[in-house]
Amino acid sequence: MAELVYFTGPMDCGKSTLALQIAYTETEAGRSGRLFTEGDRTGLAMITSRIGLARAAVLVEESLDFWEYVVAELSAGQRLDFLVCDEAQFYTPGQIDQLARIADELGIEVFCFGILTDFRTAMFPASRRLVELCDRMEVLQVRPRCWCGAPATHNARTVDGVMVVEGDQVVVGDTGASNGVVSYQVLCRRHHRLRMTAQVAKADPTPDPLPFE
């Protein structure tokens, strides 16, 4: 039976790279599929990886009905064996239900890639729905690191290197510091709680206070 699989991890863990690798491997095996994305860092209808890989993809807008799209493709004589869905955290919960139906009723493999939680540590609605419905969830083994060297587990939104905890849940940006522009950093849980980004730590080199002081 076809599966709905959710590959997840924090930013910088190689989700888009794996998405493109799976699409390549499936295609090399003689299988036909479609690539989808929403909110790619480039702002284009592309799946792009920070290591330089890129492929064109169908842009997922809120109005897109995956079920209707796939049925129309099949009715037109197109072959579909798999779907690669990048930035799935930005989809709607209803679209996740459609992807589950495609796997169950049409026998098409669905590979989703995304992050679980936003900059406030709250789960994205689509990610929550994926956790509820997926056949299996795979946490990527490539672990980015916080500036302190510890494994990074949380995504922080920053402006001029200063972490912010208010604002819209979805604001597209990339990792790295950008003056006056929203960007993101991956932090360990400790430094996310302390709101200590790499820039803040560099500006204040004093050690963290003991928790009981």
Chain segment 41-64, per-residue pLDDT in tens: 666 688 888 777 888 899 999 999
Please say if the pLDDT value at position 178 is more than 60: no
Distance CA 185, CA 18 (A): 20
CA 189, CA 146: separation in Å to the nearest integer?
9
Pair 162, 77 in one domain: no
User: Is 129 in the same domain as 166?
Assistant: no
Put residue 200 in one of left, alpha, beta given phi > 0 → left and psi -120 to 50 → alpha: alpha
Phi-psi region of 176 (alpha: psi -120 to 50; beta: other; left: phi over 0): left
pLDDT of residue 143: 79
More confident residue, 13 or 136: 136
91-133 pLDDT tens trace:
999 999 999 999 999 999 999 999 999 888 889 999 999 999 9
Answer yes or no: do 126 and 172 share one domain.
no
pLDDT of amino acid 31: 97
CA atoms within 13 A of residue 201's CA, in its CB half-sphere: 16
pLDDT given at position 212: 57
Tell me: do 135 and 167 sit in the same domain. no
User: Active-site residue 166, yes or no?
Assistant: no
3-state secondary structure 96-136: HHHHHHHHHHHCCEEEEEECCECCCCCECHHHHHHHHHCCE
- pLDDT tens per residue across span 85-96: 999 999 999 999
pLDDT value, residue 160? 78
Residue at a domain's end among 109, 139, 169: 139
- Helices 66-75 and 93-106 pack at an angle, to 10 degrees, of 40
Whether residue 34 has pLDDT greater than 70: yes
- Domain check: are 54 and 108 in the same one? yes
Boundaries of domain holding 190: 154-203
Q: Which two tokens stand for residue 203?
A: 């500006």
Best CA proximity match to 11, nearest among 133, 194, 192, 201: 192
pLDDT of residue 53: 80
| Phi-psi sector, 89: left (phi>0), alpha (psi -120 to 50), beta | alpha
The lowest-confidence range among 134-138, 148-152, 160-164 is: 160-164
Give the pLDDT of residue 161. 76
Average pLDDT, the chain: 87
**Active-site hit among 87, 105, 109, 213:** 87
Mean pLDDT of 176-188: 72
When divided into structural domains, the chain yields a total of 2
182 and 126 co-located in one domain: no
